[in-house]
A = this chain, B = another copy of it.
Amino acid sequence: MPDPADFDLERFLPYLLNQAAEATSRSFQASYKAAYGLTRTQWRVLANLGKFGSMTARDICRISHIEKTKVSRAVAALEEQGLLSRTTSPLDRRAEILALTDAGRAVFADLGQRAIEYDRALRARLGTQIAADLDDLLRRIIAEGTPVGDED
């Protein structure tokens, strides 16, 4: 039975991960927020559409592990801004096929580049081999990282 006095937030993995995530997200946030007024979620949805082409909101949920509510609102906002268009699926009239508009693709082109550059710079500073290992670790954490249960 561990002594609670031994507990140190600074060595607590969830905390460290959070800080690291905040640090990186925050600084990249400037790109999509300042330049295009996008939310983190909106940027992610856009990035998925940019990468994978047309798909339905549900697909985005599956791929990106973002909850449906968040996706739904992000999609609404992106549509509002003219960055994506919705078409009711002919196969399933509940579903909507989402696709970036030209404007959306332009934004993705710009942000995609910046993201690549940002990522490269960060990895370079960490050391590319190390960064690659980090990827694996993070994926493992994401995959099995939820020992207690309670999935998102």
Tell me the minimal C-beta distance from A8 to chain B in angstroms: 6
- Contact: B145 with A109, CB < 8 Å? no
**Interface size class for chain A?**
35 or more
- Chain B residues whose C-beta falls within 8 Å of the C-beta of A64 in the assembled complex: 9
Contact with A9, one of B5, B15, B48, B137 (Cβ below 8 angstroms) = B48
Please give 13 more A-B residue pairs, beta carbons under 8 A apart, in addition to A2-B113, A14-B25, A24-B145.
Answer: A4-B110, A7-B116, A8-B51, A12-B119, A13-B119, A13-B134, A16-B135, A17-B20, A17-B24, A28-B148, A30-B150, A31-B148, A125-B144
* A1 CA to B114 CA, complexed, in Å: 10
Tell me the minimal C-beta distance from A36 to chain B in angstroms: 14
- Contact: B130 with A137, CB < 8 Å? yes
Tell me the minimal C-beta distance from A25 to chain B in angstroms: 5
The quantity of this chain's copies bound in the complex is 2
- Chain B residues whose C-beta falls within 8 Å of the C-beta of A112 in the assembled complex: 2, 4-7
Interface of A is mostly: helix
- Chain B residues whose C-beta falls within 8 Å of the C-beta of A29 in the assembled complex: 150
Tell me the minimal C-beta distance from A104 to chain B in angstroms: 12
* A108 CA to B5 CA, complexed, in Å: 9
5 A–B contacts, CB within 8 A, in A order: A2-B113, A16-B135, A20-B21, A26-B150, A125-B147
User: Which residues of chain A from 107 to 128 have a CB within 8 Å of any chain B CB?
Assistant: 108-113, 115-123, 125-126
Kindly state whether residue A27 has any CB partner on chain B within 8 Å. Answer: yes
- Contact: A17 with B14, CB < 8 Å? no
